[in-house]
Amino acid sequence: MSKIVNVIRMKCPRCHRGMLFTKQNPYSLNDGLKMPDNCPVCGQDFKIEPGFYIGALWTSFPIVIFLMTLLSVFFLVFVKMQLEWFFVTITVILFSLQPIIIRLGRAIWINIFVDFDQDAENK
Ligand SMILES: [Zn+2]
């Protein structure tokens, strides 16, 4: 459970205190996805190996599928939106959420490989 909370808060998977991303705002144009090399609190390596976050595609893809399912049910079943407008709307929504989805995918990905360590700060 704490892993899920930690993913949403986008904190270091090891100490749960250091921030995973340099900027708090995911829509910060040039550095919205920038991450420090190491956790500023416990020193955990955030770039575990070259191309580590390519694997995060596997964790952001299910988020997109989940969102598409929710949006499809909402717009097609409840709003009864026309199909042409539905495709425009869903494209705009998913495109504008992209920075958040990528961040979540990366946060989930690193949380899969690094576990919480209570004494992380003291090492
Ligand atoms: Zn840390």
Positive or negative, the CA dihedral 101, 105, 35, 1 is positive
* 20 Cα: distance to centroid of ligand 1 (angstroms): 8
Domain count, the chain: 1
pLDDT for 21-63, tens place per residue? 999 999 988 888 999 999 999 999 999 999 999 999 999 999 9
pLDDT for 67-115, tens place per residue? 999 999 999 999 999 999 999 999 999 999 999 999 999 999 999 999 9
Question: Could you tell me which of 97, 120, 96 has the C-alpha nearest to residue 6?
Answer: 120
Q: What range defines the domain where residue 52 resides? A: 2-122
CA distance 54 to 112: 14
* 42 Cα: distance to centroid of ligand 1 (angstroms): 4
**Looking at residue 57, what is its pLDDT?**
93
**Looking at residue 123, what is its pLDDT?**
53
Strands (E), the chain: none
* 43 Cα: distance to centroid of ligand 1 (angstroms): 6
**Looking at residue 2, what is its pLDDT?**
85
